[in-house]
Structure formats: structure tokens, C-alpha cells
Amino acid sequence: MKFAILLTACGILLANAATEQAGSKKSYDANVLEFRVGVLEKDGQPDGTNTHNVALFSKYASVIESDHTKRIHISFKVQDKATGSAVKPHQVFVIFEHSPSAAEVVYVADAVANGYTLDINLPKSHTDFDGLSGSYKARLVIGDGAIKKSIDWHFADFKLSVPAQPDKPVPKSQQIIYETLPEIQHKFRQPEKRPPSFVSDTFTIVCLAPLALLLILWLGIGINFGNLPLSLWPLLFHGGLCGLFGLYFVFWLRLNMFETLKYLALIGAFTFIAGNRVLRSLANSNKLVFL
């Protein structure tokens, strides 16, 4: 919190200092002298033959033509109109306005020792014009807090020929399509190919073979009921086993896992108790035999 208050206080002090400095700076009328504009070859130097002098608030009489292989060179000085001393305004721009589309290309003039200069190397900078050839209005804009009246001067007309820009693909996320979108056709996953019925039938027969073998052996050897206790518990135990097998069969037909577990807990507990009583009866019978 203290750090934020300190930053706020420093910002207020700096703002007040800048305001006082701007207020103490003497205002003046700006004057543009020795303004020259022209078109140079790629490696050419400005001189009296390839640049033209233009007086302030007048316009060069002819249209200056250039293509993308040349350079546009502009140089000038800015002075205090009253004292004649050189000044360095905060904002010095040269603006090229495309007449048909009103698109603007803005360049910042470079401050040099004896004034300002702007050298537009069209072989490298022609892309700034976005491939728009044709007529351009060239303006010089000078502004500063101390200048009484800013300068916005249309000093020449240009006819530029620049290569057309290739069409930039519009990202799909930015495309606006008003047509009806195609209907989405859902294609579900195709079911996996099932094995031939012969394989399934063979597997079923193999699984049932031990049970069939047991029944055949029982028929051949016979079932010994001699050790079966004479009580209700053996019937209940075997009934519980049949109930378990019946539950598995119903689970295979229509029950889900949770329903099956619920019934299995009941039938399994009943079968466990009945089986325990059967085993206890058999153990007691064996003790009596040995005695």
C-alpha cells in the first residue's frame, strides 16, 4: 500500500514538472525553409537537378511520378519565425494520402544537424503502401506544445506505381459466411465383426462338456445319497446353489451388475449358512461312526 502511494506521489510530481516546463517554454510561430522534394535513383544523391524547392503553403505545380525502384527524398528546416533560430518540434510527419481510398501512410521525419530529412527507399518500403498505386497527396504535419499554430501543409501530388500485394488468406476464425452451413452427417462407429457362429457354438459345447461328462458318469456309477444328512439343510444348500446359477443366468439376460450384486449378497449369505450347517452335520456323523 505504501509503495503504491509512493508511486502515485512520484507520478504527480513528474506530471507537475512536465506541465511547468511546458508552461515556461515560450510559444512561437514555426516557419519551414529550404523545403526540397524529389525522386532519386536507388543509389542517387540529392542535388539541384533531382529535387525541387517548394515554398511554405504552396504546392509543387507538377505531379511527381515514381515507381517502386526509386527513392523519395524530402529535406527542410524548421525555424522560429520571429528569431530565425532552428527549433526541433516534437512531432514532424510526412503523410501520403491515397486519393481514391483515403488510406494514409505516415512517416516520421528524421532530425539531422541542419534540419529534417526523409528518405523513403521504395524498393524496401513499397509494402507500406499496401499495393495501392495511383494518386497520393503529400502533406507535412508539424506540431508542438509551444507552436502557436500547427502546420498541416499539402505540398505536392504524387503518382506512385507499386506492386500489388498478394491477397492475404483470411483465418477461418475471422471469416464471415452468410450462406447456410452444410448439414452435419454423424457417422457412428461400425460394430466390430463378430466371429462365425461355428466358433461360438463350439465354445459353448466345450464349456458344457464337463457338465455333460458329470451327468454321464453319475448315470453310470450312480449317485450315493448314503452320507446325505436327513435334515432340511441339504435341500436348502442345494436350492441356494441352484439359485446362484439361476441368478447368473438372469444377469446374462437382463440384470445389471449392481442389481446382481444385491441379489447375490442375499442368496450367497443364505447358501453359506446352509452349507455350513450341512458340513457341521457331516462332521458330527463322522464322529459317531468312529465312536
Predicted confidence band at 195 (pLDDT cuts at 50, 70, 90)? Answer: confident
d(CA 238, CA 235): 5
d(CA 151, CA 281): 119
Q: What is the pLDDT of residues 130-143, one digit of tens each?
A: 999 999 999 999 99
Count CA atoms within 13 Å of residue 286 on its CB side. 6
pLDDT at 221 (0 to 100): 82
Q: How much helix, strand and coil, in percent to the nearest 5, is found in the chain?
A: 40, 25, 35
pLDDT at 290 (0 to 100): 54
Work out whether the CA dihedral 231, 233, 234, 239 comes out positive or negative. positive
Tell me the chain's radius of gyration from C-alpha atoms: 51
Work out whether the CA dihedral 163, 169, 174, 176 comes out positive or negative. positive
Q: What is the pLDDT of residues 46-60, one digit of tens each?
A: 888 889 999 999 999
Q: What is the pLDDT of residues 69-125, one digit of tens each?
A: 999 999 999 999 999 999 999 999 999 999 999 999 999 999 998 899 999 999 999
Percent of the chain having pLDDT more than 90? 52
Give the full edge-to-edge strand order of the sheet including 71-80: 51-53, 30-40, 71-80, 115-121, 110-112
